[in-house]
Structure 1
Amino acid sequence: MPKPKPPSARPRLWQALPLLLLALPFLAACKDEVQAAKPAAPPPPVSVVRLQPGSVPIQSVLPGRTAPYQVAEIRPQVSGLLQERLFREGTEVEAGQPLYQIDPAPYRAALASAEANQARAEASLQDARATTSRYRPLVGQNAVSRMAYDKAVAVAAQAEAEVAAAKASVQAARIDLERTRITSPISGRTSRSNLTVGALVTANQAAELLTVTQLDPILVDVTQPAEALLRLRRDMQAGRLLRGEGEAVDVRLTLGDGTEYPLVGRLQFAEATVDRDTGSVTLRATFPNPDGMLMPGLFVRARLEAGVAQNALLVPQQAVTHNARGEATTLVVDEQGTVRQRVIETKQAIGNQWLVSTGLSAGDRVVVQGMQRVRDGVKPEVREITLQELEQGSGPAVAAAQARG
C-alpha cells in the first residue's frame, strides 16, 4: 500500500502564485521597452517617371495579303498550229516581247488575197472616174444623156466604196498575220506554258497559254475595321490627331516569319464602301519589289502612319496593371509623397509604352519600379529616373533587390 505524500508539499504551488502575479506587470514593461528600442522599418524605395506630353506618331497594325500589280492571261487571238515557243518559263519578259509563233502561212495567203482585191477595186475605181470625167463636159452639149452621166457617177461612187472595203480587208488580214506572233502585253514574270509546240489553238479559247505577272511594284491589300477608321477621322476633326494635307501615308510590312521588309510602301487609296460580311474597309498600298522577295498571296502585317497625336502621354507598360474589374490602373506619387492608385484608359501600345487617353495628367509621377512593395496610401522613398535609366534597369528598387539577393 503506497504511502501518502506529506501534507506539507501540496500547498507550495499556491504559495508561489502571488509572486507570479506580482511579476506580470514587470514582464510587460520589459516587453514594451524592447519593442520601443527596436528600430522602425525604412520606407520602401520606388522609382518614378515624370510624364511629359509630346507629339507621338500613331500607327495602325493591320493584316493583309500581297497581290500582283498586273496580271495578263495570254490567249491566242487567231487559230492555228503553234510553231515555236519564244520564251523560257519562269523568266522575266518585257512588254511587247514575243512569246509564241503560230503558223503564219494561211494568214500570209489571206493578206495577199486581200491586197489583190484592193488592187482590183482600185482599178475599177480608176475606170469609173475616167468615165465620169469624159461624160461631164458632154452632158452640157447634150452629146451624152443625163441618165448615162448619173449612172457613171453612181458607178464611181460604188467603186470608191469597194476600194474602202478592200483596204479594210487588207488591214484585217495584216492584223491577223501580226497576231500569229503572240507578244506579252505587260512586263513581268512568266508562268509555265500550258501548251507545247505542235498544239492546235483557237482564237479566244477559254484556256490561257500562260500567265504573265508583274511583281515590281507589288500591291498589298489590308483590311481595317470601319469603327477604327471612323475613330481616326473623329480624332482628326477634333484636332487630337494631325496629318499633313496631301502627304502620302508610309506603310511598312512585317512578313509571316516575323522579319521586317526593308522597303517602305505608300498607301494608294481606301475603299469607299464597307464590306457587309466583315464590317471592314479595304486599303491598298504599293511596295517596290525589285528582288521579287514579295510573292502574291503572302500574309503580312502592315503598319500605317495614321497621323501624329498632339500632347500625348506615354506610360511604360510595366507601370500598368489591372484591377479585379479588369480596369487598367497605375500607381502615382502625389505632391505629398503618398502613393495613389489611378484608373486609366489606354488606347494602344506604342513600342514598350501605352498611350493613355484619360486618368493621368502632364507632370504626374508614375511608379515604374518597386510597385510590389507599396500600395495606396503608403509614403515610400521616391527617386525620379528617366526612361533611359528605366530601359537600362537602374533605379533604387533594382539596387535594393540586388542588395537583398
Structure 2
Amino acid sequence: MKSLALILTLAVLYGCSPKPAQQQAPAPQALPVSEVHIDTATTYQEYPASVEGAINVEIRPQVSGTLDRVYADEGAYVAKGQPLFKINENPYRQALNNAKASLHAAQGALSNAKLEVEKLTPLVQNKVVSEYQLKAAKAAQEIAQGNIEQAQAMVGTAQINLGYTIIKAPVSGYIGRLLKKQGSLVSPTDAEALTQLSDVHEVHVYFSLGENDFINFKAQNAGGTLQDKIKHLAPVSLILSDQSAYTVPGHIDMIDGQFDKTTGAITVRATFPNANGLLRSGNTGKVRLSMLHSNVAIIPQDATIEMQDKVFVYAVGDSNKVAKQPITIAGKSGTNYLVNGGVKAGQQIVLSGIDHLQDGMKISPQKAPEKEPAIVKN
C-alpha cells in the first residue's frame, strides 16, 4: 500500500510540473533583391590596333650615284612633287649628250640613204643600172630609219635617267628617318629605302577579330551581305596609348577576305580623319566598337550561380519563397551578364547570399537601391 501511495504521489507531482517551451522556427533570412528590367543596353569592346597612313611610300632611287643634296629634313611635311634628294647628274647628262649625238649620226645616215634612193630611181627607170641596186638602197634607207628610232629611244631613256637624279615626293606627307646622308652612294638595289613618306591626312587603323567575335559581329549588325553590314555600322572610336579618346570618330570600311591561319583572326580596317596630323604611322591604340543589345536584362554575376554549364538565378515567388531558374546569357559586360531569356520584366531576383539557398526556401526580401541601366565596356 505504501508503494502504491508513493507512485500516486509522484504521478501527481509530475503532472503539476511546468511543461518545456516549444522550439520556435528561425526567422527567414533577410536578403537583398532587385526587380528585373528589360531594356536596351550598349556595350563596348576594345581591340588592340595599329595606325598607318592612308599612303605609305618607300622613297627609293631609280638610278645609281652619289647623293649631292638632301632637300628635306626628317619629320618635315612635304608637298607632292617637292624635291627630296638629288643624285649627281653628270654621268647621266653625258649619257644624254651621247644619245643625242648618236641620233644626229643616224639622221645623217638616213639623209644619205634617201639621196641614194633618189639617185638610183631614174637610173633604173632608164635601165642604166639594175633594179637590184635600187632595192638595196631602199633597204639601206629602212635600216637608217630604224637606227633613228633606236637613237630616239636611247635619247628618251637618257632623259628619263637624268630626270631620276631629282627624287621628288610622289604624295604629300611627312618624311620619316633619313637612312642615307649627303655623299652616300645609293642604288636601286639597296636593301633599305632612302626614307619613307606617309600621307596621313587620314589614317587606316587595323585591328583583328577572332572567329567568335566575327560571328557575333555578323549576327548583331543589320544587312544582308557583309558590305551592307559595313555601310550600316555605327562610328567607332580610337583610344590612344595614354587612354585618351581621339576626338574624331572613324568608320569601318574594310574586312579582310580570309582569316589568318596562324592567329585564327580576321583583319578589319577603320579609317579616321587626321586633318591636324595628330596621328602618325606606327601609332598604337585600341579601337572601341559599340554594340546595341535590345530586350536584355542586366544582371550582376554575383546574383547568379553556375551548375553543369548552366547559369541560374534565384527568383522570389509567392510567400517570398525562392526558386532556382536558368537564364540565357546574350553577352558579358564587365561584372554583369546581359540576359535575353529566363527572366521576365518585373520579376524579383536575389542579388547576393545565394550560396546557401535552396528551392522553396523562404526569405525576407530587402529591396536594393535601383540603379540606372549601365552603358558598359568590356
TM-score (norm 2): 0.77
The alignment status of 1:197 with 2:182, answered yes or no, reads: yes
Give the Å deviation of 1:61.
Answer: 3.3
Match of 1:402 in 2: none
1 CA distance for matches of 2:332 and 2:277? Answer: 32
Match of 2:304 in 1: 321
Structure 2 residue corresponding to 1:183, chosen from 168, 171, 179: 168
Q: How does 1:5-404 map to 2 (within 5 A)?
A: 24-25=17-18, 48-52=34-38, 54=40, 60-136=45-121, 138-233=123-218, 236=219, 241-244=220-223, 246=228, 247=231, 249=233, 250-305=235-290, 309=293, 311-317=294-300, 320-323=303-306, 328-334=311-317, 338-350=321-333, 353-360=336-343, 362-367=344-349, 377-378=361-362, 380=364, 387-388=371-372
1:16-35 residue CA offsets vs partner (Å, 9 max, x unmatched) = x9999677427x5xx67xx9
Give the Å deviation of 1:74.
Answer: 2.3
Percent of aligned positions that are identical: 26
2 CA distance for matches of 1:318 and 1:207? Answer: 55
Secondary structure, in 3 states, of the residue corresponding to 2:236? strand
Secondary structure, in 3 states, of the residue corresponding to 1:25? coil
2 CA distance for matches of 1:194 and 1:384? Answer: 66
Q: Taking structure 1 as reference, are residues 194 and 374 closer, same or farther at Cα in structure 2, changes over 3 Å only?
A: closer
1:360-385 residue CA offsets vs partner (Å, 9 max, x unmatched) = 2x425243768779955436568698
- Mapped contact 2:204–2:269 kept (Cα < 8 A): yes
AA of the residue aligned to 1:329: F
- Mapped contact 1:314–1:353 kept (Cα < 8 A): no
For structure 1, the 5+ residue unaligned runs are: 1-16, 392-405
Q: Taking structure 1 as reference, are residues 248 and 148 closer, same or farther at Cα in structure 2, changes over 3 Å only?
A: farther
Secondary structure, in 3 states, of the residue corresponding to 2:18? helix
AA of the residue aligned to 1:243: A
AA of the residue aligned to 1:363: A
AA of the residue aligned to 1:168: A
Q: Taking structure 1 as reference, are residues 195 and 280 closer, same or farther at Cα in structure 2, changes over 3 Å only?
A: closer
1:155-192 residue CA offsets vs partner (Å, 9 max, x unmatched) = 11111111111111111111111111112223322123
- My pick for the range that moved more, 114-123 or 82-91, is 114-123
Give the Å deviation of 1:98.
Answer: 0.8
Q: Taking structure 1 as reference, are residues 105 and 297 closer, same or farther at Cα in structure 2, changes over 3 Å only?
A: closer
Q: More helix per residue: 1 or 2?
A: 1
AA of the residue aligned to 1:378: K
Give the Å deviation of 1:244.
Answer: 3.5
Across the aligned residues of Structure 1 and Structure 2, the Cα RMSD in angstroms comes to 3.8
- Mapped contact 1:345–1:359 kept (Cα < 8 A): yes
AA of the residue aligned to 1:156: Q
- Mapped contact 1:47–1:382 kept (Cα < 8 A): yes
1 CA distance for matches of 2:306 and 2:187? Answer: 72
2 CA distance for matches of 1:106 and 1:96? Answer: 24
2 CA distance for matches of 1:328 and 1:155? Answer: 96
Which protein shows a greater Rg? Answer: 1
Q: Taking structure 1 as reference, are residues 254 and 336 closer, same or farther at Cα in structure 2, changes over 3 Å only?
A: farther
Q: Taking structure 1 as reference, are residues 150 and 305 closer, same or farther at Cα in structure 2, changes over 3 Å only?
A: farther
